[in-house]
Chain A
Amino acid sequence: MSKLELRSVSKSFGALEIIPPLDLTIEHGEFCALVGPSGCGKSTLLRIIAGLEPASTGKVLVDGEDVTGAEPPERGVAMVFQSYALYPHMNVSANIGFGLKIARKAADEISSKVGEAAQKLHLDALLKRMPRELSGGQRQRVAIGRAITRDPRIFLLDEPLSNLDAALRGGMRVEIARLRQNLDATMIYVTHDQVEAMTLADRIVVMNKGRIEQIGAPMDLYHHPANRFVAGFIGSPSMNFFTADIAGYTTTDFLLRLSDGTQIVADHGAAPLSGERVTLGIRPEHIEFGDGLAEDNRVSGTVQVVERLGCDTLLHVDLSGSPMVMRQPRDLPDIRAGERITCRFPTAACHVFAS
C-alpha cells in the first residue's frame, strides 16, 4: 500500500500538449479508476505514473518520495497491460516468476511466490503451459499474477479487460474485485468502460482531453455530475440531453422551456448558470412512465424503437425532434414503435448544465 501524488504533471509531444498540468492524490489502499474516452490521456497518465513515459513537467511522489526520474522497479509499481504482454517464449510459471528472477531472488522463494500467486488466481494446473495455449481470461490472470508476485507498492492496470468478450469480462471483473480485497493494495485502473469503473473503484477520475473533469465516488459522480461531459460519460444508457431556455427561477428550482414549448421545473443544481440557454439532462432510468403520473413536467413523444432486454425495456422516443431513451424496469408488451406516449421528468432527477 502506498500513497501516490502527482503535482503539476503534464505531458507534451513537441508542441502538442496531451495532458495539461494536473494534480492528483491517490491514498493508501485506494482503488482509483481513470476513465474517459479514447485519446483522453488516461493511459499516458498511467504510463507516467509507471515510469514508462517521462513527464514533461511536474513531480510524481510515492509515499512522499520524489520518483519522477526513477525506473519502474524503483517506484515499486507493477503493471498489467491491455495486451497482457506475456513473454511468448516462457511458460506460465516463468512468466509469473520473471520479475523475481530478474531481482535475483532465491529459486525456492520464486517457486513459493509463483505457487502462491497461481493459487490465488486459480492457475495451479496451468503453470507448465505456454501463453499461446491459454484462453484470454487465463492470459489475463497470468498477467495479474506476474504483477502481484513482486509485492508492488502500487498496482497499475491499463484496460485489463478490454480484450475479453462480454461474458468473460463480467467474470474477470468479479475476480479483480476479489483480488483487490485479498491484496489490500493501492490500485490505479484505466478503463474507458464506465461500468468497470463504477463497480470496482472507490474513486473515479473522469478525464477528457487530458484534463480532469471530476473526481469522486462512483455514486457521487452518478448523482451529482459536475458538467455535461461527466453526466454523459457516467451511466448506461447515457443521460438524455435537451436544449432549453431558462424561463424563470425560484430559490430552489429553475423553470425551463424546451424547444417545443414544454415547461419543465428542474432542481437548481450546484451553482447558478449564466445566460439564458442551458442543457437539461435526465437519466433514462429516472423518467417516469405509466399510470398515475403527476400533472407537472410531463412530455410527449413518439416511440421509435423498443428494445426488450428481459428485466428492462428501453424505449427510444422522438421528443419533438430531440431523441430520448427511457428505461423501464419491466416488460411493456403493449408498447409498439410509432405509438404516442406521455412520460414525466421528476424535478429532483433533472440536471441543468451550462450550454
Chain B
Amino acid sequence: MRRRHHPTANRVIIHVVLLLVLALWMIPEVYMLSIGLRTPEQAFDATLFAWPLTFSNFITVIRDNPLPMFFLNSLIVTLSTVALVVAISSLFAFACAVLNLRGSLTLYATLLTTLMVPLASLVLPLAILLKTFGWVNTYAGLVFPYAALGVPFAVVVLKAFMEDSPKELFEAARVDGCNAWQTYWHVALPLVRPALVFVGIWQFISTWNEFFLALIILTRDEVKTLTIVPMQYSGLYMANPGALFAILTLIALPLILLYVVVQRAFVRGLLAGAVKG
C-alpha cells in the first residue's frame, strides 16, 4: 500500500531545505559584506556578524581610488568583449549549424580544444604577444584575449540552439528570398535570443571578474579595471581586510544588480530547448 503524503507538509519541507542550501551558499557573500562593515580590530573575529557596523572602509576605498574611472574601464572592456563574443560566436555557430559550410565542423572541433587550455598557461605567451603588438596598457590588450577565450564556450551554446531550431524556418527564409546574411539577421538571431542573452550575461560576469590577465597587462591607473584595485589592500607585510572586502563588495554589486534584472532571461536561456516547445 502506498503511503499518502500531505502536500502542504511536503512543500514546507522542500522550502526549508532550499532555504538552508541558499543560506549555506550565501555565507561567502554575507561574510564579504560583513567584514567590509567592521572596524580593523573586529576584522578577524570568528563571527558572521560583528557590531557596531562602520562604513569607514567603504569611505576609505572610495576616497583612495578613482573608482568611477576604474568602473568605466571595466565597463568598456566588458561590454566590448561581450559584443565581440556574441557577434563572432553567433556567426560561427550559424555557419556550422545552418549553412553547414565545408570544413566548419573541423574548425569547430579545433576551437573546442581551446576550452581545455587553462588561462595560467596562456598568460606568459599572451603577455609577450601583447607587448609585441604594443597592446600593453590598452583596452585592446584585454578585450581581444578575453574575446578569444570566451568564443569557444559561446559557440558551443549557440550552435546547439541553432541546431535545435526548426530547419523549415531557415528554408522558409530562403524561399522568401533571404541571402545567408539576411537569414542570420532576420531569422537565426531572433530565434536564439534566449541563448544570446545567456551567452552575453555569462561573458559579462566572467570578463568583469577577470583578474589574472588584467594584473599582468595593466600597470597604468588610467586603464586599470576594478578587479585590480583590491590588490593594494592585501600585501605581504600589510593588509587592510576591511577595505579589501569593502572594495570586493563594490565590485560585486553591479553584477548582482545585473543578475537581478536579467535573471528571468538568464534562466530561460539555460532551459530553452531542454523540452520540445
Interchain nearest-CB distance for A9 vs B (Å):
19
Closest to A50 in B: B175
Contact of B124 with A by CB under 8 A: no
Contact B174 A72 (CB under 8 A): yes
Q: Which residues of B contact A50 (CB under 8 A)?
A: 175
Does B177 contact A85, Cβ atoms closer than 8 Å?
Answer: no
* Contact B187–A85 (Cβ < 8 Å): no
Interface residue SS majority, chain B: helix
CB distance from B197 to the nearest CB of A (A): 14
Complex CA gap A79/B171 in Å reads 10
> Would A87 and B175 count as touching, CB distance under 8 A?
no
Q: A102 contacts the other chain (Cβ, under 8 Å)?
A: yes
For the complex, give the distance between the alpha carbons of A78 and B171 in Å. Answer: 11
Cβ contact of B174, chosen from A52, A82, A150, cutoff 8 A: A52
User: Judging by beta carbons under 8 Å apart, are B172 and A79 in contact?
Assistant: yes
The one of A71, A88, A146 in contact with B191, judged by C-beta atoms closer than 8 angstroms, is A88
Q: Encode B158-192 as 1/0 by CB contact (under 8 A) with A.
A: 00000000101101101111100010001100110
Sampled A-B contacts (28; CB under 8 Å) = A52-B171, A52-B174, A52-B175, A71-B174, A72-B174, A72-B175, A73-B177, A77-B175, A79-B171, A79-B172, A79-B175, A81-B168, A85-B166, A85-B168, A85-B172, A87-B169, A87-B190, A89-B190, A89-B193, A98-B176, A98-B186, A99-B175, A99-B176, A102-B178, A102-B182, A103-B177, A150-B176, A150-B177
Measured between beta carbons, the chain B residues less than 8 angstroms from A72 are: 174-175, 177
B174 touches A81 (CB 8 A): no
Known A-B contacts A85-B168, A85-B171; A146 and B190 likewise in contact (beta carbons under 8 Å): no
Which listed residue (B175, B178, B191) contacts A78, Cβ 8 A?
Answer: B175
Q: How far is the CA of A77 from the CA of B177 in the complex (A)?
A: 10
Bound Cα distance from A247 to B168, whole angstroms? 55
Per-position 1/0 for A87-116, Cβ under 8 A of B:
111000000001100110000000000000
- A73 and B175 contact, Cβ closer than 8 Å, known pairs A88-B191, A89-B190, A89-B191: yes
Q: Which of chain B's residues have a CB closer than 8 A to the CB of A52? A: 171, 174-175
Closest-CB distance, A145 to chain B (whole angstroms) = 12
A57 near B: Cβ within 8 Å? Answer: no
| Distance of A72 Cα from B176 Cα, bound (Å) | 8
Q: Which residue of B has the minimal Cβ distance to A88?
A: B191
Q: Mark A63-88, 1 if CB is under 8 A from B, else 0.
A: 00000000111000111011101011
Interface size on A, residues (CB 8 A): 22
Minimal beta-carbon separation of A350 from chain B (angstroms) = 45
Q: How far is the CA of A146 from the CA of B186 in the complex (A)?
A: 16
Q: Which of B166, B176, B190 contacts A102 (CB 8 A)?
A: B176
* Pairwise interchain contact A146-B176, C-beta atoms closer than 8 A: yes
- The A320-347 residues at the B interface (CB cut-off 8 A) are none
- A44–chain B nearest beta-carbon distance, Å: 13
Q: Which residues from chain B contact A98 at a C-beta distance below 8 Å?
A: 176, 186
**With A89-B191, A102-B182 as given contacts, are A81 and B171 in contact (CB-CB < 8 Å)?**
yes
Q: Which B residues touch A87, using CB under 8 A?
A: 169, 172, 186-187, 190
| A 209-224 binary contact with B (CB < 8 Å = 1; else 0) | 0000000000000000
* Residues in A whose Cβ lies below 8 Å from that of B169: 85, 87
CB nearest neighbor in B for A147: B175
Nearest B-chain residue to A89, judged by Cβ = B190
A81 to B170, alpha carbons, bound, how many Å?
12
Complex CA–CA separation, A79 to B176 (angstroms): 9
Complex alpha-carbon distance, A77 and B174, angstroms:
11
Across the interface, which residues of B come within 8 angstroms of A89, CB to CB? 190-191, 193
Q: Which residue of B lies closest to A98 (CB)?
A: B176
Among candidates A82, A83, A102, residue contacting B177 with C-beta atoms closer than 8 Å: A102
* Residue of chain B at shortest CB distance from A79: B175
